[in-house]
Amino acid sequence: MNLSRFTGKMFACLWEFLDNDRNPYYGESRRELSMDRAELDKVSFNRLSKILDYAWCNSRYYQRRFAEWGVRPQDLKSFDCLRSFPCLTRDDLRMHLEDISVEVTDRSKWVKSATGGTTSSQISYYRDQPSTWRRWADTQAMNAWYGYHVGDRVAYLWGAMQDFAVKPSLGMRLRNSMYKRCLMLPSSPLDESILDNYLEKLDRWRPSFIQAYASSLHEFCRHLKARNRCLPYLRGASVTAERLYSHQRKEIEEVLGFKVFDWYGSRELGRVASECENHEGLHINEPSVYVEVEQDPSLPDNCGHLIVTDLWNRATPMIRYRTGDIARLIVGECSCGKALKRIASLEGRLTDTFVLSDGKRVNGLIMAHSVMSNSTEIVERQIIQKTLTNFHVRFVRGPEFTASSLRTFGDSLKRVLNPEISITFEQVSEIPRERSGKIRFVKCEIEDPGGLTPISAGDQREEFHV
């Protein structure tokens, strides 16, 4: 252990003592993540049974919903039986938060938070103290797989503005300088001058680890490559919030000189899954969440809808929560030896679905797999449906871009959707990000007859037609 990390750990223990906030779950989380399959199943099933029973006894919403579906907690005889219980949606949280949250007289140790608002407005929920502690312990245990530990200097190239303190208190500044030691860099907007400024800050800060949105780190690494720069003080990096495409991973790793780690989580659920050092998929955080992938024949490669049950939060229980994300379960055990189940890198969101004039729906995941795009010609792209027949493509030119690049891309898009669609192309310096700071590969801006996709306003720039 180097002196910097030792000093950070020493101050972390001191601050926890002063705050009376010693996390009781660090050791338990590390131990449980290394359990064998039989132990994992036993612990997960026990916690799943308990959260169902707790919600039934203490939440008006779950009492009503379980009764409507004709199920009770004692009906859970196996993991498969969970499929007979109703799912929780974002709309349910938005409309019924107080009914979903349990009835207690003392909420003083609850934390009220909100979702990131990737595709809609933020949605509030509550966390109790044990689930907050366990969430932090799980995060630290999984971060250790990448070599990132408490006390390390870390830079965040981050888009979630709720994580940026507008006016940090003296205590926050002391914690940061002593042991949390975080450098926060907004991931949007980004241009050459901003990225040069970030590079100067990183050179002064000299972090050992960087955590970022996938597209933002890719953009930053392209900037480093153009400047013929490297970051010799970095020894690790992780990405989240967006799908990490293979061409992005390749370029990031070429520039940084080491493997990048992908992980998946959310505001409401915490760390759900993370890559290990073998990079053979994302290990599910089974001791703390129970994950289902509901198969959908309209999706390619055995992908389905990701449904997650939080096994810890007893303030706002989240049972069979539909995340809106699409994933694929990986069969078999990882070569690292961990018994944890795995999912492939998250593929997309349910709302990223096109609706065509004949009523057919085409999920954005199919776009990612099927629409041809050479990353040396078109570095980044975003496909936006304006009407049933009109599509708009924003793109960032690559070093080998030619006039035929757009024609090739347009032809492949028409093959997947409909030969009769109209496509306009718009060259941009970067793809605009959502309020959450993320980039969406596909967007539908028309009113879906099924009520799945929202209407949002687009902007106008110079256009290219094919």
**Average pLDDT in the 33-57 region?**
97
**How many CB atoms are located within 10 Å of the residue 168 CB?**
13
- Give the orientation angle of helix 129-143 with respect to helix 26-33, to 10 degrees: 60
Q: Which domains does the chain have, with CATH numbers?
A: 3-349 (3.40.50.12780), 353-465 (3.30.300)
- pLDDT at residue number 13: 52
Q: pLDDT band at residue 21, thresholds of 50, 70 and 90?
A: very low
Question: Of 393, 435, 398, 382, nearest to 188 (Cα)?
Answer: 435
Distance CA 278, CA 280 (A): 6
d(CA 353, CA 361): 6
Q: How far apart are CA 280 and CA 344, in angstroms?
A: 8
Tell me how far apart the alpha carbons of residues 188 and 186 are, in angstroms, rounded to a whole number. Answer: 6
Residue 92 has pLDDT above 90, yes or no: yes
> What are the distances in angstroms from CA 274 to CA 44, 127, 138, 260, 326?
18, 22, 11, 12, 16
Percent of the residues in the chain that have a pLDDT greater than 90, as a whole number:
52
Q: Which pLDDT score is estimated for 130?
A: 93
- pTM, rounded to two decimals: 0.76
pLDDT tens digits along 226-251: 999 999 999 999 998 888 888 889 99
Strands (E), 311-421: 321-327, 329-330, 342-343, 348-349, 353-355, 361-363, 378-385, 390-397
- Is residue 446 within 8 A of residue 386, CB to CB? The reply is yes
Considering only CA atoms, which of 52, 50, 46 is closest in space to residue 65? 52
What is the rounded distance in angstroms from the CA atom of residue 280 to the CA atom of residue 154?
25
Q: To the nearest whole number, what is the mean pLDDT of the chain?
A: 83
Q: Which residue has the higher pLDDT, 14 or 182?
A: 182
| Distance of alpha carbon 384 from alpha carbon 461, whole angstroms | 14
Helix (H, G, I), strand (E, B) or coil at 388: coil
Tell me, what's the pLDDT at 171? 45
